[in-house]
Chains A and B, each alone.
Chain A
Amino acid sequence: MASSPHLNRLHKEETAVSWNAYFRRYWQLYALLVLPLIYFIIFKYGPMYGIIIAFKDFNFFQGIVGSEWIGFEAFKEVFGMRDFYLTLRNTLMLNFLDLLVSFPAPLILAIMLYEMKVQWFKKLSQTVLYIPHFISWVIIGGIVYQVFGTQSGMINNVITSIGFDAIPFLTDKNDWLATYLLVGVWQSAGWGTIIYLAALTGINKELFEAAGIDGAGRLKRIWHITLPGLKSTIVVLLIINLGHMISIGFERPYVIGNLAVREYSDVLSTFVYRIGLQSGQYTLATVVGLFQAVVGLVFVLGANYTSKKLTDEGIM
């Protein structure tokens, strides 16, 4: 297009003026953004930059920049470590079993709460069931040792007092696994009901009345109305959980785990902590962390994609 130089200049001036006006009008909003953006750059993107030490022989004296490049040497070393596969297996195993046990629990509990007609008791039990969610893993760990301890734990006191042998809940790896899972249910089941109860408020009450007139019993109503009403919530939550298969919190396995059951309790997060911060093998630990982050990202994006396909609704 042939535009005269005069027109071009005018246009430029106009943009300059409007930019000026725009900025004068909005500078306060940009001023608000400054500190938060600095925060994101330093504390979120800084560590991302730090990932390059996975490809360097890192030590603190030479720093991130000064340390020597080693390419994929550290990856080779990590993928040759027995403990890497052990902790990877344990992470997947604990998460999978957790999903099996801890996923249905809030669903069942929510339906029981939904069916509870005695309002004061419903409120009371909700209040109690939510409490564990607010208790730190350190405290839960302390409670677990008092309750499940072999020598003086509450449960074993009962078991031995009726003449059976004490069960090493915390020191035998299979018993420990059961303990770990049960504690997970105890901690999360109550809180998990909230999302289901919210979804249940969306179910049309008339459906229940109609079913009642048709002579459908309570269990039938749960099966034919309540559960179908929760289907999309269940699917989305299941997919989110599958997306997090490889990521595992540090505190739960670290606090409940111990040396006697390390074969099961050592997971990727505790492995990173052990080789990184306790043994100072920063490069190796970063490689493990990077592996986990990348695989985790693929899982989550895959889960999000699947969720979109199935429910026309993304997770994010």
Chain B
Amino acid sequence: MAPDVTTPPAGGTALPPRPAGQRSVLQRVLATRESSVIGALLVSILAASLLVDGFASGRNSGFLILDIAAIALIALPMTLVIVTGEIDLSVASTLGLTSAVMGQLWVIGLPLETIAVLCLVLGALLGAVNGLLVTVAGLPSLAVTIGTMAMYRGLAYVILGDQAVADFPFSWTGGATARLSGTPIPWIALLIIVLAVVFGLLLHATPFGRSLYAIGSNDEAARFSGIPVLRTKLVLFIASGTVASLAGVFWTLQYGSARADNAFGLELSVVAAVLLGGVSIFGGKGALLGVLGGVLLLGTIRNALQLADVSSDMLSIVTGTLLVVSVVLPNAIERVRARRRTAEPPS
């Protein structure tokens, strides 16, 4: 089969050897956004350990992990969604609605095992609604999920009003925050790690993951390459909804309280963490490791500031500034470099 073009080319062979100026693998790894986020994370952990009393204790790291658990979980599928160039702002409302449904079902008297399963199904359905509106109806996800954000939160209020259901059995609420035996690490950390590995492999090491980057960079070219763009996006929105309601179940048990306004505004924290982790809001770029770094960085700073008794206002300032700087800085560096080296190829 191999078509062999017989005439010799006029100039140049296919693959010249790597020129001397080529940066090494290590240099390239160090230049990525992930590594700068991880670097910032390590520095802030080090600084907090040295400067903040009580930060470096096992007990505290347990709290820290519980604190960021919901954000970490939701950020995983969110990364994949944003890599395809879409966004899901309804996650916190999905969490809230899950929580409200969970409370109401508990009041009715269903066993918690059944409730948990039903909640995950609910999350998948809510995600599917987003996904269908985006793919079948062809609506922009930013607008769709602002809509469903209001709608799901609204439904949560319809179901539970402004009451709270708080009489979950201790075996469950205590279980949610239980530590792995002999360690200060809560078991949820294990779940986060497992899911992170699953989503990480999915994004970086499978054909499916590769197609996400193609879709995010140019979804028309992706379609012309035989990638089922719409189905892929639908699957991601369903994953996002399911994980959001998993986080909802966990949140409800962790705080022992089902409320319609649980996790209000959390969507922006999740998006902030993902963007801080180096994922491009326009899609096509980003790595899961960076996102985990982003989540942990925000969690660490928050935890350290709380321990240091710095008023919580600084947290917002730091979060916001970090987010802006983390995007402005590489942009600025890139532009300075671009002025000196390749800007755009002549066509």
- A-B complex is real: no
B residues contacting A by CB (< 8 A) are none
